[in-house]
Structures are given as structure tokens and as C-alpha cells.
Amino acid sequence: EKGGFASFMDKEIHDQPHAVADTLLGRTDAAGRLVLDDLRIDESVLRSVDKIVVIACGTAAYAGHVAKYAIEHWCRIPVEVELAHEFRYRDPVVGPRTLVVAISQSGETMDTLMAVRHAREQGAKVLAICNTHGSTIPRESDAVLYTHAGPEIAVASTKAFLSQITATYLLGLYLAQLRGNKFPDEIRDILEQLRQMPDKIQQVLDRADHVRATARDMAGTSSVLFLGRHVGFPVALEGALKLKELAYIHAEGFAAGELKHGPIALIEEGQAVFVVVPSPRGRDSLHSKVISNIQEIRARGARTLVIAEDGDDDVLPYADEVFFVPQCPTLLSPLLATVPLQVFACELATARGLDVDQPRNLAKSVTVE
Ligand code: BG6
């Protein structure tokens, strides 16, 4: 059932083009307008939403971090992202015009479920983004948008993450369509770009030998840092989480802009640092700022492992290794940049002789608070 792969994790990483394609499937009508049939939430309610709060745990929360950038840009609705267990024990300011989006692969995470109940008690509408039909969180929510990643067996999340990001994009574009924030042509355009992402994810997988060789080479490493900016920031956090979960290596993700405010003190000879570089075709200042960060850490002896867009030659002078990914719009880039980091963690843990499907101390779905 592992389909010829050494682990479920490896199989699920390779399932990602399908997970994203299937999550996009059947969600537009003949005229190219988004139709989210399973949403079961009144359009007038969605039109009146004045704040979105995403609640989730672990990898699912990082999908929420990515969503914030896209939804705020497309819909001009403020989006907060909060760990479910923190939200639950605050006195959050939510009300009938707040849309709470609960993201959960399993639909059974107790922390997230309790936060859903807490939100509904305050009068908020809750929309679940979930991968498991009939699970508790969608049953207790006002509405549900299912991800179609298929069953995820490995404890550490991979394909569910990319499909969660995809689902939040659909939600953002749907809200933009309903509220008239974007012209229909623009929405159709972004959807078309989204439909090209499964092929591009496949290209990243087809080129993954270099990442695997680097991971094997680094099997003895004791600490890896991850830097990213804009949507690359949650990608960095997810890359660090994967490495902790699978390889039991100290790993930390930072916003690249934060480097000079503290983390740069950690840089010493041989410290491995992954850097997720924004597209040079996006906001130019961001690209050059991250290139400067790479320069700064390299000058202090860091081993720089760079994820950059095809054609971005600016990274070459400062990178020990470069993992190129295909070009795509900046907001969609987490669907590509995450993949080498997943492959890296999986391969490095395997090289250390660890069970990547069942990491120590972790459970696939944590059903206690
Ligand atoms: C953790 C899992 O315990 O729960 C993570 O190990 C997962 O992989 C997190 O991201 C949240 O789980 P779920 O099912 O709510 O998405």
C-alpha cells in the first residue's frame, strides 16, 4: 500500500500533485465562477464578514499563516491566525461577523475542537477545512470545505498541508468573488495559475535528487535554521517543524527580517541555514533584502541552502547549495517551496535510521487537550 515507496511519508510527499489537483477539482461552474457547494453557509453571512480568525495546531496552523497573506490581499478582510489552544483560553474578540476557520487534517484534534466550541459560544460562524469526512470538527462547525488529499497515514503532515493551503486559496477567492473585491477575470486568472501548480509540484519532485543527496550528506548535523520572508516565513516554520518531528534535530524557523534582531547571533562556522528566497519578479525590495541576509550569514560562516525560483542567478554567489523551483505567482509559491524541505527532512531522518512514519512521542491525531 506504500505504492513502491520506502515509507508512507515518501509516498505522501509524492502524492502532492494529486492532493492539490483533487482539492481544486469540480469547484468552478461552466462560466469559470467558483462554486463551493459543500460550504452550506449563507452567502449574506459571508458578505458581511469583517474579520477572519484561523485556528489550528501544528502544520495546519502554518497553512493558516500562508492563508493570511493571500486572503488579506485578495479580500481586504483582516485575518488573524492563532494556535487553537491559545485561542481557547483567551477572551477572544469575535462575534457574528467573525468567520472562524478551523483547519484540521484529522478533524479530531481536541485543542482545535475545543476552540471551535469556544468560538461558536461567542456567536462566531465556524468554517472547517478538513480532510476527513464525517469527523467531529466539521460536524460541529457551521460549514465545511473538504480538502481532497486522500488518507494521510504518516504522522508528520505533508500532502494535507498543501491541500489545506489550496483550500484556503479557494475560500479567499470565493470571498473575493462574492464581495466583488476582484474582477472575475482576475479570479479566473489566479485559478488558472493554481491549476498549473500540480505540474509544477511534480517538477520539484522530479528534481529532488539534489535535496536528497544534500540531506544524506548532512545526516550528522545537530542544528538547522530556516529563514523566510512574506509567504516564505510560514514555509520556513514548516521546514523546521518537519525536521524536528522526523529527524529529532534542533531546528528553528525565523522571519528573515528578524535576523538582525537576534537570530544572527546563532550563526557560526558551519551552521546550516535554509533560506527561502522570494521571487525576483515579486516585490523587488523583498528579494534583494533576503539576498542580503544570505550574504550576511555566509560572511559569518553559515552553510547556506537556498530555495530560489528558476532563473534567479542573484543567489548563486552566496549559496552553498541551490534548490530551484519553477516560477509561479508569489502567493502560490509555498506550494512549491515547501516540497524540498519535506524531502530534506524525510531523507535526513531516513539516513539516521529513523522511522519517518512513526516519529517518537508523536501521534497522528491528538485527541486529548
Ligand atoms: C499533530 C500532528 O499532533 O497535530 C501534526 O503530529 C498535525 O502533523 C497537528 O499538523 C494537527 O493535526 P490536525 O489533524 O488537526 O491537522
User: Is there an atom of ligand 1 within 6 Å of 162 CB?
Assistant: no
The angle formed by the CA atoms of residues 361, 137 and 332, to the nearest 5 degrees, is 80
- The residues assigned a catalytic role are 364
Cα(58) to centroid of ligand 1, in Å?
A: 5
Element (H, E) at 253: strand 250-255
Angle between helices 197-206 and 16-24 (to 10 degrees): 180
- At 111 the pLDDT is 96
User: Is there an atom of ligand 1 within 6 Å of 315 CB?
Assistant: no
- At 38 the pLDDT is 72
Looking at the predicted structure, is the pLDDT value of residue 12 above 90? yes
- At 32 the pLDDT is 84
- At 200 the pLDDT is 98
User: Is there an atom of ligand 1 within 6 Å of 60 CB?
Assistant: yes
Nearest ligand 1 atom to alpha carbon 56: 15
Looking at the predicted structure, is the pLDDT value of residue 369 above 90? no
Cα(302) to centroid of ligand 1, in Å?
A: 32
Q: Which of 157, 237, 241, 356 maximizes ligand 1 atoms within 8 Å of its Cβ, making it the mutation to test the pocket?
A: 157
Cα(362) to centroid of ligand 1, in Å?
A: 9
- Name the pairing type of β-strands 98-104 and 51-56: parallel
User: Is there an atom of ligand 1 within 6 Å of 135 CB?
Assistant: no
Looking at the predicted structure, is the pLDDT value of residue 31 above 90? no
- At 14 the pLDDT is 98
C-alpha span between 151 and 131 (Å, rounded): 8
Shortest-distance Cα residue to atom 2 of ligand 1: 364
Cα(345) to centroid of ligand 1, in Å?
A: 17
SS3 365: coil
Joined grid coordinates for residue 357: 512514519
C-alpha span between 307 and 21 (Å, rounded): 23
- At 161 the pLDDT is 98
* Residue range 101-140, pLDDT digits in tens: 999 999 999 999 999 999 999 999 999 999 999 999 999 9
User: Is there an atom of ligand 1 within 6 Å of 366 CB?
Assistant: yes
Mean pLDDT on 56-84: 97
Give the percent of the chain with pLDDT over 90. 88
SS3 content of the chain, % helix, strand, coil (to 5): 50, 15, 35
- At 285 the pLDDT is 86
Cα(32) to centroid of ligand 1, in Å?
A: 34
Please, is 102 exposed, middle or buried when counting C-beta atoms within 10 Å of its C-beta (0-12, 13-18, 19+)? buried
pTM: 0.97
- At 276 the pLDDT is 98
User: Is there an atom of ligand 1 within 6 Å of 158 CB?
Assistant: no
User: Is there an atom of ligand 1 within 6 Å of 342 CB?
Assistant: no
